[in-house]
Amino acid sequence: MDSMEALLDIRELQTHFQTEAGVLRAVDGVSLRVREGETVCIVGESGCGKSMTAMSVLGLVEGPSGKVAGGEVRFGGRDLLRMSRHELRTLRGHELSMIFQEPMSSLNPVLTIGRQIAEPLREHLRLGRKEAERRAVELIREVGISRPEQIAGAYPHELSGGMLQRVMIAIAVSCKPKLLIADEPTTALDVTIQAQILDLLRGLQEKSGMALLLITHDLGVVAEMADYVIVMYAGKVVEEGEVERLFREPRHPYTQGLLRSKPVLGQVREELYSIPGQVPNPLELGAGCAFADRCEFAMDRCRRQEPPLAPVGSDQQAACWLHGKEGQHE
């Protein structure tokens, strides 16, 4: 992907946390790019660094224990890591916005829904109180919630999970951002509501032309939404590529395991596949591939030397020695 076309360009991002047991490398050399209007999905198991990558982009990793230790994050040509707190605050919620995982913990329980949607409109677009409140009602209607005037006067605890997620989307898109980061936007919602939320995001994206960086562990969501896929494991990118090719020809054993563990409609299996072993403790990672102890194809080299992310075929990259000189797995 041409970095000149990238709206968001992350290069070798490093986010570390100081613990009593040592330095925890939550994000360890992640690079990715998102172009205007594109949907990029970051996928992986819990704890792989997906959400922390997004928090680092937004400047939400704060000390004293955590810090962005290195790398570059450019948005619209500007280096976010060199911005002041005031500059980042001006950018967040306006050109760059995020939907967080838990609506109930993200919304203020003592403020009405309408007031919380109106807040970024007043902050970033300088709308007057009455105009912001009127626009808040319009946004509630746009995200598919009925009785918008009544909902604007309600409090978060009075709404269902699906409605709260729609409210979070309304807040996130209120100032028409160029890039929306959605962190597990369908978690804890039933299947029908999940589909509605994804349809809503897709419709808003088509209407406004915004780019979408979608963080998920659900490969069904990836298949439905993504143009490009980033697979993360233990703080690193282990595979990336265009969604159709990556689903058709996964090259990293971890990606292959994720796809094998996904239920397939119409196929009856006695037991759903799961990747053997556990995600390693990030404080105890050795010199080799972090996935080696769970990989059925692991060689001696895998435990001695970490494989670089390198091209494998057309428009695809994987960090795996099976595609190097010592062996090939198809």
Instruction: State residue 329's pLDDT score.
Output: 43
Question: For residue 168, what are its two tokens?
Answer: 């979070």
How many other C-beta atoms can be found within 10 angstroms of the C-beta atom of residue 104? 12
Q: How confident is the model at residue 266 (pLDDT cuts 50, 70, 90)?
A: low
Percent of the chain with pLDDT over 70: 94
Residue with the two structure tokens 């604007």: 152
> In the prediction, which pLDDT does 4 show?
52
The tens digit of pLDDT for each residue in 120-139 reads 999 999 999 999 999 999 99
Q: Given CA atoms 113, 116, 119, 125 in this order, what sign does their dihedral have?
A: negative
Rounded CA-CA distance 188/255 in Å is 24
For residue range 31-41, what is the model confidence (pLDDT) as tens digits? 999 999 999 99
Instruction: Tell whether the torsion through CA atoms of 138, 144, 150 and 152 is positive or negative.
Output: negative
Would you list the domain boundaries of the chain? 3-95+175-263+274-323
Distance from C-alpha of 137 to C-alpha of 93, rounded to nearest angstrom: 18
- Position 271 scores a pLDDT of 72
Q: Residue 1: pLDDT above 70?
A: no
* 277 has a pLDDT exceeding 60: yes
What does the mean pLDDT of the chain come to?
90
pLDDT tens digit sequence for 244-255: 999 999 999 999
3-state secondary structure the chain: CCHHHEEEEEEEEEEEEEECCEEEEEEEEEEEEEECCCEEEEECCCCCCHHHHHHHHCCCCCCCCEEEEEEEEEECCEEHHHCCHHHHHHHECCCEEEECCCHHHHCCCCCCHHHHHHHHHHHHCCCCHHHHHHHHHHHHHHCCCCCHHHHHCCCHHHCCHHHHHHHHHHHHHCCCCCEEEEECCCCCCCHHHHHHHHHHHHHHHHHHCCEEEEEECCHHHHHHHCCEEEEEECCEEEEEEEHHHHHHCCCCHHHHHHHHCCCCCCCCCCCCCCCCCCCCCHHHCCCCCCCHHHCCCCCHHHHHCCCCCEECCCCEEECCHHHCCCCCCC
* Whether residue 86 has pLDDT greater than 50: yes
| pLDDT single digits (tens) 214-257 | 999 889 899 999 999 999 999 999 999 999 999 999 999 999 99
For 15, list phi and psi in degrees, rounded to 5: -125, 120
The pLDDT score that the predictor gives to residue 267 is 59
Q: In whole angstroms, what is the distance from residue 235 CA to residue 224 CA?
A: 25
Express each pLDDT in 32-71 by its tens digit: 999 999 999 999 998 899 999 999 999 999 778 899 999 9
The dihedral built from the CA positions of residue 300, 305, 308 and 311, taken in this order, carries a sign that is negative
For 165-209, the pLDDT digits (tens) are 999 999 999 999 999 999 998 887 888 888 999 999 999 999 999
- Show Cβ contacts of residue 213 under 8 Å, excluding neighbours closer than 6 positions: 8, 34, 39, 40, 42, 54, 179, 180, 181, 182
pTM (two decimals): 0.91
Please say whether the beta carbons of 45 and 217 come within 8 A. Answer: yes
Q: What is the predicted pLDDT for the residue at 103?
A: 79
Tens-digit pLDDT profile for residues 89-120: 899 989 999 998 887 788 999 999 999 999 99
pLDDT at 212: 96
Class of the domain covering 3-95+175-263+274-323: alpha beta
**Torsion angle, CA of 285/286/288/291, rounded to 10 degrees?**
-30
For residue 3, pLDDT beyond 80:
no
Tokens of 96: 């760059």
Q: Is 311 exposed, middle or buried (0-12, 13-18, 19+ CB in 10 A)?
A: exposed
